[in-house]
Every structure is written in structure tokens, then in C-alpha cells.
């Protein structure tokens, strides 16, 4: 099956700085890569996604890049704010099965 590795497991950045979270996947048949944000005690929320035929996608302060050859994708958050503090999960889909990374706890330091 698919295996998704996510790094780092924890990340602290100063407010206003950028944060980068990286994921690798194992199965080249995976073709959809969403990112979810989960605040404490809340449901995961889809924040951005990318399909395998696209190399980069942006939505305001967040962006995702995908390198199909190397089988890795990254989440970039610029101008971080305190409300960005949460656990972020990457995922990869192959034939409707969503495999999640182990999560990154992002803390924004005011």
C-alpha cells in the first residue's frame, strides 16, 4: 500500500516568518495530494490540495508544490499568524484510499 512520510513532526516559527512542511509518498500511482489543518479538539479542515498534473498551487498565504519524479510535496505558509497554530496533515490518494502523514504540530510564536 501507500506510505506517506511527513517532516518535521513539530515546528515552531516566529510570527511573520514562513513555515514549510514536507511529505514523501511511495506509490507513483497516487494522484491527489490534499493538506488538512486540525486545531485542537476540532475536525480536520481541507486547506489546499494539488493534483498530479500540476506542479504548484497557491491560495493567499499558503502554497503547495509537487515533485512527481522525486515523489514529494510540500506545504508553504508565508507571513504566519497565531491562528496558523495547529496540526497539519498531508495525504496521498490512490484509488480512493486516502493515506495520511503522521502530522506536523506547528506553533507560531508571537
Name the nearest CA neighbour of 30 among 60, 66, 62, 56: 66
Choices 20-28, 54-62, 70-78, 92-100; region in contact with another protein by CB under 8 A:
92-100
Shortest Å, Cβ 110 to another protein? 27
| Strand partners for 72 | 24, 67
Which position among 21, 103, 106, 108 is part of the footprint of another protein (CB under 8 A)? 103
Write down the least CB distance from residue 38 to another protein, Å.
Answer: 9
Residues 104 and 11: beta-carbon distance below 8 Å: yes
Residue from 40, 42, 53, 83 binding another protein (CB under 8 A): 42
Q: Is residue 53 within the footprint of another protein (CB under 8 A)? A: no
Q: Do residues 110 and 48 touch, judged by C-beta distance below 8 A? A: no
Q: Count helices and strands (H / E) in the chain.
A: 0, 11
Work out which of 19, 24, 35, 44 binds another protein, going by CB under 8 A. Answer: 44
For residues 39 and 52, give the distance between their C-alpha atoms in angstroms, rounded to a whole number: 27
The site for another protein (CB under 8 A) is made up of 1, 32, 34, 36, 42-46, 49, 89, 91, 93, 95-103
Amino acid at each position: 500500500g501507500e506510505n506517506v512520510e511527513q517532516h518535521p513532526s513539530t515546528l515552531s516559527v516566529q510570527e511573520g516568518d514562513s513555515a514549510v512542511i514536507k511529505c514523501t509518498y511511495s506509490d507513483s500511482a497516487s494522484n491527489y495530494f490534499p493538506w488538512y489543518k486540525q486545531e485542537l479538539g476540532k475536525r480536520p479542515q481541507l486547506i489546499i490540495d494539488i493534483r498530479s498534473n500540476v506542479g504548484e498551487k497557491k491560495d493567499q498565504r499558503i502554497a503547495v508544490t509537487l515533485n512527481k519524479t522525486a515523489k514529494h510535496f510540500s506545504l508553504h505558509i508565508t507571513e504566519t499568524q497565531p491562528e496558523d497554530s495547529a496540526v497539519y496533515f498531508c495525504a496521498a490518494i490512490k484509488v480512493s484510499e486516502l493515506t495520511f502523514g503522521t502530522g506536523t504540530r506547528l506553533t507560531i510564536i508571537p
